[in-house]
Structure 1
């Protein structure tokens, strides 16, 4: 049976993975925002206010935020058009990045509550 080889993840393991994802995301976001704020905001889907907050977190604040029990980054898999554009093969490969950028730009920037 398919499920025989699967290991059930404990809550502690899941929490550890979430912390790792959060810390990696925050560090990536900070690096992108420090290198080029506008491009980072666009690629991450962040508002100027959220970008400023993320870019100026101290190490202690970053670690505390990463320890949240919620995944902080938002995947854009909920938008069928964007997902299908990113996964298409063949066709007009030369315009695919521009088409994806246009679709992503049309989305509202994320805000921290």
Structure 2
């Protein structure tokens, strides 16, 4: 994959992430904050973005979302394909909820 292809994919990911995050926050703020791993200040910013601001932010070649896969247990729970996958997903959600949220510095 070429560097220009990677940059294009990052921009598409950013746009999809920001649009989804804004929709989630407007629909169910508390649930969105938990699922996105962001605090109230970041949620306020995302919620207030205009379409033009979203497009400008999405145009960055830096990924705006962050994966919370820094815990081997969390990764294993989410990747679990055993019969009791619902319990694994609930356990993973509980672990993710206990993580610190992103704040604006």
Fold similarity call, TM over 0.5: yes
Which structure has the bigger radius of gyration? 1
Which structure features the higher share of helix residues?
Answer: 2
Moved over 6 A (4+): none
Q: 1:101 aligns to what?
A: 93
Say yes or no: does 1:27 pair with 2:19: yes
Say yes or no: does 1:14 pair with 2:6: yes
1:66 to 45, 52, 58: 58
Residues 34 and 109 (structure 1), Cα distance of their counterparts in 2 relative to 1, 3 Å cut: same
Structure 2: how far apart are the matches of 1:73 and 1:51?
A: 13
When normalised by structure 2's length, the TM-score is: 0.90
When normalised by structure 1's length, the TM-score is: 0.85
Kindly tell me the number of residue pairs found equivalent between the two proteins: 105
Question: Which blocks of at least 5 consecutive residues in structure 1 are unaligned?
Answer: 1-7
Question: Which blocks of at least 5 consecutive residues in structure 2 are unaligned?
Answer: none
Q: 2:67 aligns to what?
A: 75
1:95 alignment partner, SS class: helix
